Structure 1
C-alpha cells in the first residue's frame, strides 16, 4: 500500500521566513496543527524545507516567555532536520520512519522532492483501525460460511 493513497493533499504551506504569529494564525484559520515550510519551485510546485507545529510554537515561544512572536521566523523554531517520505513508500515503512524519528507528521514528496501531501499519525491510526476491523470480520465470516449461514465468497 503506497502512502500516497492515504496522504492529505490539502497541505497548508508557508514561506520559512513567515513570522510565528502569522504561522499560528494560519493554523487557526485552516484548523490544522502544522504548517509545511516550503519554497516555491515553479507554478503551484513547492519543495518542503521544514515543518512547524502548534507544539513548536507553544514550547518555543509561549512557554519560553517570548512576548514578540511577530519578530520570530517560523523556520527558527524547527527543532530538527525535515524528514519526508516518497509517495511510493509503503505505509508500514512510513510508520517505521515516523517511529524512528519520533515524529507525528511527515510531508510526502514525489521523485523530484516536491510536496504532494502530508500524513499524520492520526490519519494512519484510522487506516490501521479499519484494516484490523476488516481482518477481525474475516474470522467471523469464515465461521458463518463453515456453518452455511454466509453465502458470499470473499
Structure 2
C-alpha cells in the first residue's frame, strides 16, 4: 500500500518564526494535537501539545515556536512502503511522521492512529475472508 493512500495531505503548519500562542490557537482551531513547523516549504520540526505543556511552561506565549518545537523531525518519502513506515514508528518511538517528496518538500503527515485504522480495516477484511 503506497503511503500516498493513507497520508493526510492537508497538514496544519506554522512558520518557524510564528509565536507559540499563534500555533496553539491554530491547533485549537483545526482540532489537532500538533503542527508541522516549516521554513518556507520545508518541514524543519514539529510542535505538539506536549511540547507546549512541557517546554513552553513558564515561557512567554510570544516566543517563536522554534524555541520549544521538537527539531528532530522524522520524515519519510511518499514513495516509501508501509513496512518502512512501521519500522520508523518502532525505531524512533514517535506518533507522527512527516511525509516529503524526494527533494524534502512537505507532502503530508501520517500518525500512528492512521496506521492503526488501516490495519483494523485490513484485519476486518481478513476475518471476512475466513468466515466466507
What TM bracket, shorter-length normalisation?
over 0.9
SS in 2 for 1:69: coil
Please list, as runs of the form range in 1=range in 2, the aligned pairs for 1:3-152 lying within 5 A after superposition: 3-40=3-40, 46-62=41-57, 66-70=58-62, 72-141=63-132
The structural deviation recorded for 1:92 is: 2.2
8 A Cα contact 2:44 2:71, kept in partner: no
Moved more, 51-60 or 78-87: 78-87
For the residues of structure 2 that align with 1:28 and 1:18, how far apart are their CA atoms?
A: 15
The structural deviation recorded for 1:80 is: 4.4
Q: How many residues align?
A: 132
For the residues of structure 1 that align with 2:119 and 2:83, how far apart are their CA atoms?
A: 10
> Any unmatched runs of 5+ in structure 1?
41-45, 142-154
Deviations 1:95-150 (A, max 9, x none): 11012111101110011110110011111110000001101111111xxxxxxxxx
> Any unmatched runs of 5+ in structure 2?
none
SS in 2 for 1:55: helix
Runs of 4+ in structure 1 deviating by more than 3 angstroms, as ranges, are none
For the residues of structure 2 that align with 1:103 and 1:67, how far apart are their CA atoms?
A: 25
Q: Which has the larger radius of gyration?
A: 1
SS in 1 for 2:110: strand
The structural deviation recorded for 1:79 is: 3.6
The structural deviation recorded for 1:86 is: 0.5
